[in-house]
């Protein structure tokens, strides 16, 4: 491989114990960790590489579920121009070692599962990966809830985990429904998910009160936006819609913070405390990286939540936010990769 893992004490070292081909250009990697590794269904880990004397990171969702699977697994799709997905698919071998961060991500089941009686999962393409993890965790550990999976692909050949999902449907047939959509079908009314088709599917499968439904969405940006708008038109609350964004392109920031003066940042990371000055146009994360302070991060675009900290004093302005809910914001959670201190000094805790 032309890249090498970045083996630092702060990272986990994992050995590839098995590689399974799920579909063309899609592989699942089973990983054995040298040190204890914990994660939650629906989360992701970030692989850390050294590339041309600099650190580079890429995040991949778990396809395993901790309550169900004995071995940790991530699933990777080869992207045609992917800097790392291509060699991971083409060159990685059993026995190779990878460097990873700890698990992170907010695309997880709620603390109180029983708050909702029916869970809807909308997946398109490789977006099935974290949803497959969530489905297994939900079905095997919570017998009193039901689930519906609406799964879109270009064809059956491209359908990742199809056999495993069908086995789940057989095993939990009284409370798990799967509806496949294939864009290459001649049945146009069952080809693509749309604002026209989605309400029909909900009418067919939804049980009970609207307030008892929780939705998980993962796929291309336009797909997730359509699902969200369709659910909003059906008068579902945003708090009932959870999405995982695989888009790593950098959003265009049209606004700047009103305060671009330097301010002091006090950072508490467990037993470590750091003090530094941060000023626009450098984000809090960019400043910390320049100073060698090991803050967690992955996408650096405000889309994954890896860099989330809690602001306990002062105010942080964010140029973009795809993951934090109104409840998160009210609790002081901020994204340091798109965050800038404004109005004075700030205190952050990890």
Residue 280: the pLDDT is: 95
The answer, yes or no, to whether residue 3 has pLDDT greater than 70, is no
The answer, yes or no, to whether residue 2 has pLDDT greater than 60, is no
Residue with tokens 């009103």: 258
The first and second tokens of residue 82, run together, are 């992917």
First to last CA, the chain: 34
Residue 167, classed as helix, strand or coil, is helix
* This prediction's pTM: 0.88
Which residues make Cβ contacts (< 8 Å) with residue 163, sequence separation at least 6? Answer: none
The answer, yes or no, to whether residue 276 has pLDDT greater than 80, is yes
Residue with the larger pLDDT of the pair 297 and 75: 75
pLDDT one-digit tens code per residue, 77-134? 999 888 899 999 999 999 999 999 999 999 999 999 999 999 999 999 999 999 999 9
Can you list the domains of the chain with their CATH numbers? 4-100 (2.40.30.10), 113-245 (3.40.50.80), 263-349 (3.10.20.30)
- Among residues 119, 215, 135, which one has the least CA distance to residue 168? 135
φ/ψ of 163, rounded to 5, equals -65, -45
φ/ψ of 99, rounded to 5, equals -105, 130
pLDDT one-digit tens code per residue, 105-118? 999 999 999 999 99
């Amino acid at each position: 491989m032309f890249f090498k893992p970045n083996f630092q004490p702060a990272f986990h070292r994992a050995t590839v114990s098995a590689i399974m081909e799920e579909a063309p250009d899609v592989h699942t990697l089973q990983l054995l960790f040298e040190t204890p590794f914990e994660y939650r269904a629906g989360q992701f880990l970030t692989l850390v590489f050294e590339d041309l004397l600099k650190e580079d990171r890429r995040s991949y969702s778990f396809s395993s579920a901790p309550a169900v699977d004995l071995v940790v697994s991530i699933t990777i799709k080869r992207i045609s121009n992917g800097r790392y997905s291509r060699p991971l698919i083409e060159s990685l071998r059993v026995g190779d070692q990878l460097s990873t961060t700890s698990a992170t991500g907010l695309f997880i089941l709620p603390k109180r599962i029983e708050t909702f009686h029916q869970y809807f999962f909308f997946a398109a393409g490789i977006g099935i990966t974290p949803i497959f993890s969530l489905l297994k965790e939900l079905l095997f550990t919570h017998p009193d809830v039901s689930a519906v999976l609406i799964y879109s692909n270009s064809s059956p050949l491209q359908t990742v985990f199809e056999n495993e999902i069908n086995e789940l449907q057989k095993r939990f047939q009284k409370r798990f429904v799967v509806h496949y959509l294939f864009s290459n079908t001649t049945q146009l009314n069952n080809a693509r998910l749309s604002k026209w088709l989605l309400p029909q599917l909900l009418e067919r499968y939804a049980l009970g009160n609207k307030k008892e439904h929780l939705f998980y969405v993962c796929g291309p940006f336009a797909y997730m936006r359509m699902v969200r708008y369709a659910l909003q038109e059906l008068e579902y609350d945003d708090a009932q819609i959870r999405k995982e964004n695989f888009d790593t392109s950098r959003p265009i920031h049209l606004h700047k913070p009103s305060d671009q003066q330097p301010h002091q940042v006090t950072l508490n990371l467990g037993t470590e405390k750091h003090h530094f000055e941060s000023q626009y146009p450098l984000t809090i994360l960019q400043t910390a990286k320049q100073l060698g302070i090991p803050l967690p991060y992955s996408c650096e675009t405000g889309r994954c939540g890896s860099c989330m900290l809690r602001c306990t004093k002062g105010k942080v302005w964010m140029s973009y936010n795809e993951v934090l809910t109104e409840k998160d914001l009210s609790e002081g959670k901020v994204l340091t990769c798109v965050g800038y201190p404004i109005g004075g000094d700030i205190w952050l805790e990890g």
